[in-house]
């Protein structure tokens, strides 16, 4: 099992540039989550997909952030334009949601993308 794969591991960019983060979930998983981790705010859920459909994007901070999941094996998180306050570690996680009320579904996390915006 390859686990959740994120790329790149590190990204350094200048303010105003577009940044695209990529995620390949575990094969067979139908739920995908993007989290952001900072010292100040801890782990924040940005967006949640189920069966490739965005279900909850209430955590997306601004219109500068967008996420897509064109198929079950790929998702992107895009920031355009980027700002220094976007510097953080961005995690992608996937899980198998069996769709039944009350069924737990542990998340499997990727190793994250450390984004630095200068």
Partner 1 sequence: AQSVTQLGSHVSVSEGALVLLRCNYSSSVPPYLFWYVQYPNQGLQLLLKYTSAATLVKGINGFEAEFKKSETSFHLTKPSAHMSDAAEYFCAVSSFYGKLTFGQGTILTVHP
Q: Is 105 in the site for partner 1 (CB under 8 A)?
A: yes
Instruction: Name the minimum Å distance from CB 62 to partner 1.
Output: 21
State how beta strands 88-95 and 31-38 pair: antiparallel
* Residue whose CB is less far from partner 1, 51 or 80: 51
Give the CA count within 13 Å in the CB-facing half-sphere of 88: 21
Instruction: Name the minimum Å distance from CB 16 to partner 1.
Output: 27
Of residues 65 through 84, those in contact with partner 1 by CB under 8 A are none
Residue choice 19, 65, 67, 110 for contact with partner 1 (CB under 8 A): 110
Q: Is 15 in the site for partner 1 (CB under 8 A)?
A: no
End-to-end CA distance of the chain: 36
Residues that bind partner 1 (CB under 8 A): 4, 31, 33, 42-43, 45, 48, 50, 55-56, 91, 93, 95, 97, 101-112
């Amino acid at each position: 099992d390859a686990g959740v794969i994120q790329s790149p591991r590190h990204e350094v960019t200048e303010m105003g540039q577009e940044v695209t983060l990529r995620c390949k979930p575990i094969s067979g998983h139908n739920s995908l989550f993007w989290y952001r981790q900072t010292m100040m705010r801890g782990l924040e859920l940005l967006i949640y997909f189920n069966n490739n459909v965005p279900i909850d994007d209430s955590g997306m901070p601004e219109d500068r952030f967008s996420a897509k999941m064109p198929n079950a094996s790929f998702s992107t998180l895009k920031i355009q334009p980027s700002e220094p306050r976007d510097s953080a570690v961005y995690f992608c996680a996937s899980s198998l949601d069996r769709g039944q009320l009350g069924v737990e579904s542990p998340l499997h996390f990727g190793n994250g993308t450390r984004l630095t915006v200068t």
